[in-house]
A and B are shown apart, each in its own frame.
Chain A
Amino acid sequence: MSINRLTGGLIDHASPLQFTFDGKTFEGRKGDTLASALLANDVRLMGRSFKYHRPRGVLSAGSEEPNALVELRSGARREPNTRATTVELFDGLTADSQNRLGSLKFDALGVNDVFHRFFAAGFYYKTFMWPKAFWEKLYEPMIRHAAGLGSISLQDDPDVYDKGFLHCDLLVVGAGPAGLAAALTAGRAGARVILAEEDFLLGGRLIADTGTLTDMSGADWVGTAQAELATMDNVRIMPRTTVVGAYDHGVYGAVERISDHLAVPEDGKPRQVFWRIYSKRALVCAGAIERPIAFENNDRPGVMLAGAVRAYANRWAATPAPSVVVFTNNDDGHRTAADLVAKGVSVPTIVDTRDTAPDMQGTEVLAGAQIADTKGRLGVKSVTVKLINGQTRVIPCGAVAVSGGWNPNLGLTCHQRGRPVWSEKILSFVPGGDLPQGQSVAGAANGETSTHSALASGAQGAVDALESIGLTAQAGDLPAAEDRPVSVSPFWYVQGAKRAWVDFQNDVTVKDIKLSHQEGFRSVEHLKRYTTLGMATDQGKTANLTGLAVMAELTGKTIPETGTTIFRPPYTPVAMGALAGRSVGKAFHPTRLTPSHHWAAEQGAEFVEVGNWLRAQYFPRPGETHWRQAVDREVLATRSSVGVCDVTTLGKIDVQGADAAAFLNKIYANGFAKLAVGKVRYGLMLREDGIAYDDGTAARLAEDHFVVTTTTANAVPVYRNMEFARQCLWPDLDVQLISTTEAWAQYAVAGPNARKLLQKIVDPEFDITNDAFPFMACGEITVGGGLRARLFRISFSGELAFEIAVPTRYGDALIRRLMDEGQEFDLTPYGTEALGVMRIEKGHATGAELNGTTTALNLGMGRMVSKKKDCIGNTLSERDGLNTADALALVGLKPKGDGQIMTGSHLMAASGPVDAAHDQGYVTSAAYSPILESSIGLAFVKNGSNRLGETMRAVNPLEGGELLVELVSAHFVDPEGGRLRD
């Protein structure tokens, strides 16, 4: 085994695991992270920095890691920007370093570092401004190639992600001393508790440090606490779960990594679950994050946070090097030195910036000293120490453990409006007021630095939180633990450094911050954006406060006066897959099938997505090689004999009540009060601003019963608006609404033989002859020997037509029966394309014409808008601007000679300029009419109804082309409407 593997710790020395890093095979232990296993194998160099491609090693032992980002796994499962510090080692793990050209040791883009003086803060803004044309062709591709982090697999993720919902009285975030004490306190009181821990082991610093709890080691006490919690049905322990966001009203988002510690998820298990946790109260026990001190070349692999070095030694039995120098401004750094020595690691020197520093038996302590520089190209080989007397000394070592003090982990406390406040005691920000509703904070996250105070505040935090929701808990007896006072001095960076790194991931130095200040970017928010400090994937967890301290010094203000930076969700990066859950591919949205879908599929229909619906687009027959052949055939067959089309997708709203007619009179622009029972009327709805909204029909089945249809697209919003009108505008009307779109299967049966066909299935007691059941009649009937149905004599195609509705479960049977009975008429099923062709031939408007900018006047229905009643939209439809003399009017178009009219073309005078100033209108719909054997179109043209016969140009600069067209009536087929009434 490697020279850097120590004894003890919480790894299983008897369980070796093989893994590869950059193609080289190593051996780790069960319980290792990728970072700890690499350190144990004497690998300090783990990546290259973002901008300068500087060699970088691991800095931390947690999710705050800025440097050690790797691409994990291979093939479709490759995952970039994974922090080696949080990757749980498994047998067969493969990882690769990223952001390099060539090998990690000889990164060709390391040349960026040689030219670093050109890459300082604001470099992009200044350098790449000129010449302008170079940006797209040269600078941007170059920067995109050189900068950046890992690369994605470009393949579909083979794993499944899930979403879930949880409810609790108390959510405890973090299972360190404070979180465990809180969970025990609340769990014993019977409260419903969720204990979420980011790590795969509970314990936090209790398993990274050597202190005892009464007579037990930290790890043993954690074990007993976990065992007790596991016996409580009211407590849910969630390791490998990061609470990433605090949302309104006690809702938290959390990612549980179910399978990330396995090579491949177990059968049926998701990779990750995104939980939405509804908590009555939440206690944030998220601990603290150590901050580095900035000094010259402090980014060499081997320079690490002291608390992390201690955690690697104690928990993972690994050290970055056999010899470690400690650099600290506080007492906590000395604990690292003591723990390392106890583990057999050499600590030649403690460099303490304070003039008086505690002594340590057997280890040299240099008080009032600073590290001036480090040496070693791919990893630290020595440090140069500036002594209190001004002299310098070079000390060989393989690593530097740096402690600049501890910052409470504020993430979740800032996700709403919380602004942290400055604490002189710990020289850091602690949570302030305005925390998210129901949230409180305990332990190191609240500035409680000792184990004792963490335990006590966690227990008390749980008691207080539960009391506020009416539950009683007792803090109980706490184990005896260290209760050292804080001793930290304000020391942020070593003066005089040329390149002292503050934000490792975004390559921001002390000098960059000074440059930013010099150039006038003095507010913290400007500083961030100019230097990109704190804007990398780690959100500056280890960098922000040091950056602030440098800025404070430059502006001569205190740190709290200078400002603070806050955090937004997510606390750590979240995989897109986890946010999507199961809503991928075909499950991205629900698919709605029409009642005739399976029958249509048997006929070989092509389907088209219409919102969530799949509708038959056309029904190709053998020998047809182009969709137009099928569509033309369907149109001609319908117009010459009879066709059938599934129109179930149109919205259907059942309107009942004594005031149903009065209500519809308010909803529609045209009148409905006098519509006779057994009759249907076309209805146009306006928006309150006077623009046309939706159209359809309303059939009066009884004095107090209407069936309203809407367009497919507007079925949901029209219903919503009708409920608004019913509940909010006219609450006195006796009327009830319900959507019945999915309750009825509805078919249009159209063509000269439509009645003959229907007479074969409508039960004989119902007379549907023209006299008994004329155009726009409706009624409740039975078909096929007693099946209840509704029949409407309405026509979208312009032919003699009916729409017949049966309960949805009979929809499949009805289409099959119709097809059987229709054989003698050569009944032809038609899809949405033929439907569209026929409605254009007839000049009927759809969504292309009711496009959110047009009025009833534009549509040629101006007279329908009643001025004698109160209805939605009529007042504002009378506005002058909507009623000018040259208002757009719907007309038909025919090409002069051959040519194809294209939707979206704009209409210009037959000669003259083609530009926006001379725009006279636009084409909304176009189709080939097999009846007219010509391309036809519908268009809005200024004053169009008075210009029929005029020749204009339809121009399409987007797709190219210009076509001479004649303005004609929009009713190409049967303009008098005789066929409808046959």
Chain B
Amino acid sequence: MIINHPLLGPRDAAEFVYLGDAGLIDRPDWQADDAAQAFHDYMYLRDNPAGLHRELWFHEQGDRSWLVVTRNTVTHEITNVELARDVAIAQGRGQ
């Protein structure tokens, strides 16, 4: 597979390490009343869609960016690649 890195252009997937669902960015609030349940869900419950999937890839053999790659798990078509940091900020993390 080839991942079109937002900063570096097309790179072979072999340069990357795969983590999983981009939902891992949405780490729950540790002080919330339901924190235990929320962390359980965050840690263990994942969707496994046949189709578009937003997932985290780390450019370990490259510039060390974490990326959010939107990939069709059936066809492997990659429709979008973003810097995970931009995604995290856009989702309001670290406010």
A731 CB contact (under 8 Å) in B17, B31, B94: B94
Chain B residues with CB below 8 A from A816, complex form? none
Given contacts A870-B30, A876-B43, contact A731 B36 (CB under 8 A): no
A632 is an interface residue with CB less than 8 A from chain B? no
Of A248, A723, A731, A876, most buried by chain B (CB within 10 Å of CB) is: A731
Chain A residues with CB below 8 A from B43, complex form? 688-689, 876
Chain A residues with CB below 8 A from B65, complex form? 727
A355 is an interface residue with CB less than 8 A from chain B? no
**How many whole Å from A685's CB to the nearest CB in chain B?**
16
Q: Report the bound CA distance from A730 to B27 in whole Å.
A: 10
Looking across the interface, which residue of chain A has its beta carbon closest to that of B83?
Answer: A727
- Do B66 and A248 touch (CB < 8 A)? no
Chain A residues with CB below 8 A from B46, complex form? none
Looking across the interface, which residue of chain B has its beta carbon closest to that of A251?
Answer: B2
Looking across the interface, which residue of chain A has its beta carbon closest to that of B32?
Answer: A875
A437 CB contact (under 8 Å) in B56, B77, B84: B77
A732 is an interface residue with CB less than 8 A from chain B? yes
- Do A876 and B58 touch (CB < 8 A)? no
A879 is an interface residue with CB less than 8 A from chain B? yes
Of A716, A723, A879, most buried by chain B (CB within 10 Å of CB) is: A723
Q: Which of B6-31 contact A (CB under 8 A)?
A: 12-13, 17, 19, 24-25, 27-28, 30-31
Q: Which of B34-56 contact A (CB under 8 A)?
A: 35-36, 39-40, 42-43, 56
- Do B30 and A733 touch (CB < 8 A)? no
- Do B94 and A248 touch (CB < 8 A)? no
B39 CB contact (under 8 Å) in A437, A688, A724, A729: A688
- Do A723 and B58 touch (CB < 8 A)? yes
- Do B30 and A732 touch (CB < 8 A)? no
Q: Report the bound CA distance from A876 to B35 in whole Å.
A: 9
Looking across the interface, which residue of chain A has its beta carbon closest to that of B58?
Answer: A720
**A 727-768 to B, binary, CB cutoff 8 A, 1 in contact else 0:** 111111100000000000000000000000000000000000
Q: Which of A692-725 contact B (CB under 8 A)?
A: 716, 720, 723-724
- Do A728 and B88 touch (CB < 8 A)? yes
**A 876-893 to B, binary, CB cutoff 8 A, 1 in contact else 0:** 101100000000000000
Q: Report the bound CA distance from A731 to B17 in whole Å.
A: 20
Q: Report the bound CA distance from A251 to B76 in whole Å.
A: 13
Chain B residues with CB below 8 A from A417, complex form? 74-75
Q: Report the bound CA distance from A375 to B51 in whole Å.
A: 57
- Do B75 and A875 touch (CB < 8 A)? no
**How many whole Å from B92's CB to the nearest CB in chain A?**
10
Given contacts A688-B43, A874-B30, A876-B43, contact A732 B94 (CB under 8 A): yes
**How many whole Å from A958's CB to the nearest CB in chain B?**
33
Chain B residues with CB below 8 A from A251, complex form? 1-2, 12
Chain A residues with CB below 8 A from B24, complex form? 724, 728
**How many whole Å from A75's CB to the nearest CB in chain B?**
35
Chain B residues with CB below 8 A from A161, complex form? none
Looking across the interface, which residue of chain A has its beta carbon closest to that of B64?
Answer: A723
Q: Report the bound CA distance from A688 to B27 in whole Å.
A: 10
In this complex, the interface size class of chain A, counting residues with CB under 8 Å from chain B, is: 20 to 34
A278 is an interface residue with CB less than 8 A from chain B? yes
- Do A720 and B60 touch (CB < 8 A)? yes
Of A248, A688, A728, A731, most buried by chain B (CB within 10 Å of CB) is: A728
Looking across the interface, which residue of chain A has its beta carbon closest to that of B60?
Answer: A720
- Do A875 and B93 touch (CB < 8 A)? no
Given contacts A688-B43, A875-B36, contact A728 B76 (CB under 8 A): no
- Do A728 and B60 touch (CB < 8 A)? no
A879 CB contact (under 8 Å) in B31, B36, B58, B66: B36
A249 is an interface residue with CB less than 8 A from chain B? yes
- Do B2 and A732 touch (CB < 8 A)? no
**How many whole Å from B70's CB to the nearest CB in chain A?**
14
**How many whole Å from B60's CB to the nearest CB in chain A?**
7
B17 CB contact (under 8 Å) in A689, A720, A728, A874: A720
Q: Report the bound CA distance from A733 to B24 in whole Å.
A: 18
Chain A residues with CB below 8 A from B25, complex form? 728-729
- Do A729 and B27 touch (CB < 8 A)? yes
Q: Report the bound CA distance from A874 to B25 in whole Å.
A: 17
- Do B1 and A248 touch (CB < 8 A)? yes
Q: Report the bound CA distance from A724 to B88 in whole Å.
A: 11
Chain B residues with CB below 8 A from A730, complex form? 93-94
- Do A878 and B88 touch (CB < 8 A)? no
Chain B residues with CB below 8 A from A731, complex form? 85, 88-89, 93-94
Given contacts A720-B17, A723-B64, contact A728 B95 (CB under 8 A): no
Chain A residues with CB below 8 A from B35, complex form? 875
- Do A728 and B2 touch (CB < 8 A)? no
Q: Report the bound CA distance from A250 to B12 in whole Å.
A: 11
Chain B residues with CB below 8 A from A250, complex form? 2
- Do B2 and A724 touch (CB < 8 A)? no
Looking across the interface, which residue of chain A has its beta carbon closest to that of B3?
Answer: A249
- Do A727 and B66 touch (CB < 8 A)? yes
Looking across the interface, which residue of chain B has its beta carbon closest to that of A434?
Answer: B75
Chain A residues with CB below 8 A from B30, complex form? 870, 874-875
Looking across the interface, which residue of chain B has its beta carbon closest to that of A278?
Answer: B2
- Do A248 and B40 touch (CB < 8 A)? no
Chain B residues with CB below 8 A from A249, complex form? 1-2, 76, 78
- Do A878 and B36 touch (CB < 8 A)? yes
Chain A residues with CB below 8 A from B95, complex form? 732
Q: Report the bound CA distance from A437 to B2 in whole Å.
A: 12
Q: Report the bound CA distance from A724 to B20 in whole Å.
A: 12
Interface residues of B (CB under 8 A from A): 1-2, 12-13, 17, 19, 24-25, 27-28, 30-31, 35-36, 39-40, 42-43, 56, 58, 60, 64-66, 74-78, 83-85, 87-89, 93-95
Report 30 cross-chain contacts, Cβ distance below 8 Å, ordered by A residue. A247-B1, A249-B76, A250-B2, A251-B2, A417-B74, A417-B75, A437-B75, A688-B27, A688-B39, A688-B42, A689-B43, A720-B60, A724-B24, A724-B56, A724-B58, A727-B65, A727-B84, A727-B88, A728-B85, A728-B87, A728-B88, A729-B94, A731-B89, A732-B93, A732-B95, A733-B94, A870-B30, A875-B28, A875-B35, A876-B36
**Additional 5 contacts, C-beta under 8 A, given A724-B56, A878-B36:** A720-B58, A728-B24, A728-B56, A729-B27, A876-B36
Q: Which 4 A-B pairs have the closest CB atoms?
A: A732-B94, A249-B2, A727-B85, A248-B1
